[in-house]
Amino acid sequence: MNKQIYIVLGGILLLTGVLVMGYLVLSWLGLKNMGNPTGGRGPDYPYFITTEPLTIKKILVPKGTKLTYEEQFFKKGQQDELLNENKLTKIELPEGKPIDWGGVPVFMIIKFFNPEMQGYSVCADFNRSKDDRKTKFSELWQSCNNDLGVLIENTQDWSFNTKNIRDVSDCGVNFQRYFKENKERQQFLDELYKELKKVDLK
């Protein structure tokens, strides 16, 4: 009888040990919250802080720019070198050092989360806008007072290349191509895209 109790207890201890080890391994790999968008702390995405001006996605970014990448095995937090540009999800400019994107000061560009949508969102700081750079495009963008979503042909180019930008997908939550039944919202996005195509940065 005692031998059977020891066997059962040993089995329980072994199972508990395996479960604990499994949890620790998954936590170490940053996978314990996979599939649970509302539970626990999110993954520690790998990122790199530029130490000199660099051209990333055909954009010249200054020193101190934060480049964030997709979640990757064995790569967490700050990295010592650039990672694969194809894995880039966000460009975050240093505070007070926006880049010019279509005549608008931009402080962040974020790749669309939805893989079926080939494009990114552009975050502007209109407080830094200059009067001599204002256009109908920048005024329309500022009027919706939110991030601008654009669809592109070439995912390697996040610059203001009007030949690469094939549409404006949204301007905040109120103006989205998704609301196709709302003609007023669609017309606003149509006009925004039309004015974007007119911007000449030469």
Per-residue confidence (pLDDT) for residue 121, from 0 to 100 = 97
15-19, 128-132, 153-157: segment of lowest average pLDDT:
15-19
Residue 36 has pLDDT above 50, yes or no: no
**What is the mean pLDDT of the segment spanning 118-135?**
92
Please tell me the predicted confidence (pLDDT) of residue 197: 96
> Quick check: pTM over 0.75?
yes
For 85-123, what is each residue's pLDDT tens digit? Answer: 999 999 999 999 999 999 999 999 999 999 889 999 999
User: What is the SS3 assignment for the chain?
Assistant: CHHHHHHHHHHHHHHHHHHHHHHHHHHHHCCCCCCCCCCCCCCCCCEEECCCCEEECCEEECCCCEEEECCECCECCECCCCCCHHHEEEEECCCCCCEEECCEEEEEEEECCCCCCCEEEEEECHHHCCHHHCCHHHHHHHHHCCCEEEEECCCCCCCCCCCCEEEEEEECCCEECCCCCCHHHHHHHHHHHHHHHHCCCC
